[in-house]
Amino acid sequence: MTSNNNRVAIVTGGSRGIGRAVAERLVADGQHVVIAYAGNETAAKATVGAIENAGGHGVAVRADVADEAAVTALFDTAEQRFGGVDVVVNAAGIMILKPIVDLDLDEFDRMHRTNVRGTFVVAREAAGRLRPGGTLINFSTSVTRAKLPTYAAYAASKAAVEALGPILAKELRGRDITVNTVAPGPTATELFLKDKSDELIKTIAGQNPMGRLGRGEDIAEVVSLLAGAGRWINGQTLFVNGGAF
């Protein structure tokens, strides 16, 4: 495996939230990072600026993760800019919370397009282009185990992601490439905090044995392990939630 100073990572959803924390941590580990973002150019530029201010190398690429041509172009950019791809982190995702009876099928399709198709498209490209010693890290959620009302469609989309990982790990036998899935619990990001009252957030934090919500850095720490020294972890889903579920 090449040293971190020569390694190149693609982080989808890397402009905000957990994705940004992951991108910044991988840069701190010495990797060059290509951030894929869906539409918020301002946030993407801010993340690249933070990376460069920290002495790292990063570039932002607008890409719809569910679009095959866009994902191909994303990998092309990483190879042209930095020489190859060693780490792919599939952090892009959307969450729509409603009871099953109230969820519009257009909302269902939009969520699954990003969370399931998007993960699959990026994973397929990664399978063909990761260098030996590389790793693919997909993102699920601890909600797949919590079985909370209003989370059914979201949890179903992430359960599909969990199913993909161990199968792809076996299909890549002999390539020296690991495939794992990280499943965060409640984490203080814009995606999680949206439309939740302060009282509800306090309640959720208090239910955790650690007495708080997760932080982006908590999740990034695990990604850093999987993207670096954790080579004997393969085909697994790691629940990173402070013991919440």
Contacts of 46 (CB under 8 A, 6+ apart): 15
Q: Write down the catalytic residue from 75, 139, 154, 239.
A: 154
State the CATH number of the domain containing residue 104.
3.40.50.720
pLDDT by residue for the chain (245 residues), tens digit each?
A: 555 668 999 999 999 999 999 999 999 999 999 999 998 999 999 999 999 999 999 999 999 999 999 999 999 999 999 999 999 999 999 999 999 999 999 999 999 999 999 999 999 999 999 999 999 999 999 999 998 999 999 999 999 999 999 999 999 999 999 999 999 999 998 878 887 899 999 999 999 999 999 999 999 999 999 999 999 999 999 999 999 98
Residue 94 resides in a domain:
yes
Radius of gyration of the chain (CA): 17
Q: What is the Cα–Cα distance from 217 to 215, expressed in whole angstroms?
A: 5
- pLDDT, residue 245, reads 86
Residue 149 resides in a domain:
yes
Output the six-digit token pair for 74: 């994303």
151 labelled catalytic: no
B/e letters for 124-139, b = 16+ CB within 10 Å, e = fewer, are ebbbebbbeebbbbbb
Residue 179 resides in a domain:
yes
Output the six-digit token pair for 172: 């890549």
Number of domains the chain contains: 1
- pLDDT, residue 5, reads 66
B/e letters for 224-233, b = 16+ CB within 10 Å, e = fewer, are bebbbebeee
- pLDDT, residue 4, reads 65
Residue 24 resides in a domain:
yes
Contact criterion met (CB below 8 Å) for 157 and 183: no
Residue recorded with tokens 């993960």: 119
Contact criterion met (CB below 8 Å) for 146 and 93: no
Cβ-based neighbour number of residue 84 at 10 Å: 16
Its domain, for residue 110, covers 4-240
- pLDDT, residue 3, reads 56
Model-wide pTM > 0.85: yes
Residue 245 resides in a domain:
no
Residue 22 resides in a domain:
yes
